[in-house]
Amino acid sequence: MTYTIAIVEDDPDQRHNYCAAMEKKGFTVNAYADRLSAQQGMADQTPDLVILDIMLGHEVDAGFQLCRDLLASNPTLPVLFLTERIDEIDQISGLRLGAWDYQPKPISLAFLAERVASLLRLKEIRLNPEGSRLQKSKQIGQLNIQEDAMVISWRGKVLDLTLTEFRLLARLVRSPGHATAYETMMKATIQQYVTNNTINTHMRNIRRKFTTIDPTFDCIHNEYGFGYRWVNG
């Protein structure tokens, strides 16, 4: 299956490099230099994944607006922010909008291509959860983890987690009943420039996704100033 990647980047050299990296990986690429052309192009052809800068031309928050619009019409679309804006507030804003990943510039093109491939694998698993259940799994109370498939289920229902959320939750439940430090959770994200508040935002999102399935969920406890604890349910 050939995937289509949309790249929204106003710098022509960076746009060219990202396109070349994606095409080398075997993806079809549609590239855009501004928000309006991206909106029009993706309205005609919905991509399988979007790589998105935040500041596009004179629009300082164009990427945030575009992400909001895209996910409003296609909630399962993976969006990867790739930007020089690494302030904590920007990362939190991107996560709250529903982005699957947030990466800082500059970035290794090989790493970017592998990151995109991982997100696409995760998307396919979500679209076909039945197939993923055939893989080896680990049961922790009412929680089921399929490491290879990057799928976590609660009471038999698959959680709609991003790749980073999966890694955080999988690390947290590795030691049920024991507190996991912020520093340990930061390492689990495999991302740069992660702060305590970034982890807190991820954990709020994870809790919300649990309570969507189970309103009585109460297994993630915050250890103030230290980290989080998973208490078996």
Task: Report in angstroms the alpha-carbon separations of 198 from 23, 91, 170.
Answer: 32, 7, 17
pLDDT at 47: 97
Nearest-angstrom CA–CA distance, 46 and 63: 17
Contact assessment for residue 96 and residue 115, using Cβ atoms and an 8 Å cutoff: no
Terminal-to-terminal C-alpha distance of the chain: 39
Q: Which domains occur in the chain, in start order?
A: 4-125 (3.40.50.2300), 130-230 (1.10.10.10)
pLDDT at 76: 87
pLDDT at 233: 64
pTM, 2 dp: 0.71
Closest listed residue to residue 164, CA positions, set 225, 229, 209: 209
pLDDT at 135: 58
Alpha helices in 9-160 (DSSP H): 12-24, 35-44, 62-73, 88-97, 109-127, 129-132
Nearest-angstrom CA–CA distance, 43 and 98: 19
Closest listed residue to residue 140, CA positions, set 157, 154, 129: 154
Q: For 75-80, which contacts have Cβ atoms below 8 Å and span 24 or more sequence positions?
A: 76/123, 76/126, 76/127, 77/46, 77/47, 77/49, 77/50, 78/48, 78/49, 78/50, 78/119, 78/120, 78/122, 78/123, 79/49, 79/50, 79/52, 80/49, 80/50, 80/51, 80/52, 80/115, 80/116, 80/119
Per-residue pLDDT of the chain (233 residues; tens, 9 = 90+): 689 999 999 999 999 999 999 999 999 999 999 999 999 999 988 999 999 999 999 999 999 999 999 999 998 899 999 999 988 889 888 888 889 889 989 999 999 999 999 889 888 877 775 655 545 788 999 999 988 777 899 998 888 888 889 999 999 999 899 999 999 999 998 777 788 999 999 999 999 999 999 999 999 999 999 999 999 86
Phi then psi for 73, rounded to 5 degrees? Answer: -95, -20
Cis peptide upstream of residue 106 (ω within 30 degrees of 0): yes
Nearest-angstrom CA–CA distance, 208 and 155: 15
Within 10 angstroms of residue 231's Cβ, the number of other Cβ atoms is 11
Nearest-angstrom CA–CA distance, 32 and 168: 33
pLDDT at 189: 86
